[in-house]
Amino acid sequence: MIIARSRQELQAALDTKRGSIGFVPTMGALHIGHRTLIEAARRENETVVVSIFVNPTQFLPGEDLSKYPRREEADFKICELSGVDVLFYPDVAGMYETDEVRVCAPDVRGFILEGASRPGHFDGVLTVVMKLLNMVRPSRVYFGKKDAQQLALITQMVDNLFMDVKIIPMETVREKDGLALSSRNVYLDEKQRVEALKLSASLKEATKMVMQGNLDAEKIKAAMMNLLQPLDVEYVAIVNRQFESIKEVVIGNTIVLVAARVGTTRLIDNVWM
Ligand code: AMP
């Protein structure tokens, strides 16, 4: 595995490779969710590139940028063992200069749900993904459905800006008890870890209601809110794949999402139906 710490080193590494490139952008603190993306990239491409970059522009002032988990040594091992060919590990100076051109998230879809709770977050996400895609120039790029709105907005960016890359959405990987894997789960103590299960439990309840034929979005949201108590819920939402709010679940075109704080840790989860 080649570790490239600058754009020049990345370019030199890629110059030695032939064929399709599968790319998995991450912020590190790698877990099985990330590994599933890397394994899919490994199966489907000749060369696999993973980036690890805790992108400062997607954190709002007061968020967890400085304490975001960093696990350089373990992450390098995981990448090596997963068959990654090139690990791109740039520093902030190698990614940004001051007074830059940036990508702006769309006015509506970029500023609802996650974008309402974290205004500006998606501008940072789209900007860094654009930079990374331009540097790696992959055939396929892998994103988790766990970050559903991020996936939708990146898909829209690729579409709107006529970019030439295939986006591969990947299912959310969960612990046995249902908790969606997240680098932020390490912030949870034992009691909070149990409370955090309310997110996936509320989504299971939504799925159960839909399977029983209860398609009314308000009723599903009310049942979820009930189960989420006493967590500090930021939103419960039911949208279509375009992230438009819907009154009735349509199987095959619905995403149910939840964001809540467990202690000071902000968690998100969703289910696609
Ligand atoms: P992050 O390091 O949190 O920025 O995530 C990097 C990529 O891994 C994103 O595309 C995420 O959606 C994806 N990811 C994070 N958690 C999971 C999970 N539990 N299952 C599947 N993919 C995930």
Q: What angle, 0 to 180 degrees and rounded to 10, lies between the N-to-C axes of helices 72-81 and 32-44?
A: 40
DSSP 142-197: EEEGGGHHHHHHHHHHHHHTT---EEEEEPPPB-TTSPBP-GGGGG--HHHHHHTH
Q: Of the residues 14, 34, 86, 239, which is catalytic? A: 34
Residue whose CA lies nearest to ligand 1 atom number 5:
26
Of the pLDDT bands very low, low, confident and very high (cuts 50, 70, 90), residue 108 is: very high
User: What is the distance between the alpha carbons of residues 131 and 9, in angstroms, rounded to a whole number?
Assistant: 15
Residue from 157, 165, 85 nearest 128 by CA: 157
Interstrand relation of 21-26 and 47-52 (parallel, antiparallel or unpaired): parallel
Specify which residues 256 forms β-bridges with. Answer: 238, 271
Q: How many CB atoms lie within 10 A of CB 123?
A: 19
Cα distance between residue 41 and residue 43, in whole Å: 6
Per-residue pLDDT at 3: 98
182 CA → ligand 1 middle, Å: 7
Which pLDDT belongs to residue 42?
Answer: 98
State pLDDT tens for residues 19-50: 999 999 999 999 999 999 999 999 999 999 99
Q: How far from chain centre, in Å, is Cα 19?
A: 27
> Is 34 a residue of the active site?
yes
Q: Which amino acid is at 97?
A: E
Distance CA 23, CA 124 (A): 19
- Residues in contact with ligand 1 by the CB-under-6-Å rule are 26-27, 33-34, 36-37, 143-144, 146-147, 170, 172-173, 180-183
Task: Kindly indicate the confidence band of residue 223, based on its pLDDT and cuts at 50, 70 and 90.
Answer: very high
Q: What is the predicted pLDDT for the residue at 222?
A: 98
Q: How many angstroms separate the alpha carbon of residue 143 from the centre of ligand 1?
A: 7
Residue 247: predicted pLDDT: 98
Q: What is the mean pLDDT of residues 254-259?
A: 98
pLDDT score recorded for residue 32 = 98
Q: Give this prediction's pTM.
A: 0.98
Position 16 scores a pLDDT of 95
Report, in this order, helix, strand and coil percent for the chain, each rounded to 5: 40, 20, 40
Strands 232-239 and 255-262: antiparallel
Cβ neighbourhood burial of 219 (10 Å; 0-12, 13-18, 19+): exposed
Q: Which of 34, 59, 122, 199 to mutate to test the pocket of ligand 1 (most atoms within 8 A of CB)?
A: 34
Question: In this predicted model, what pLDDT tens digit does every residue of 42-94 receive, in sequence order?
Answer: 999 999 999 999 999 999 999 999 999 999 999 999 999 999 999 999 999 99
At 205, the pLDDT band (50, 70, 90 cuts) reads very high
Kindly report the average pLDDT of the chain as a whole number: 98
DSSP letter assigned to residue 57 = G
Q: How far is the CA of 214 from the centre of ligand 1 (A)?
A: 30
Question: Any residues with CB less than 8 A from the CB of 215 and at least 6 apart, and which?
Answer: 248, 249, 250
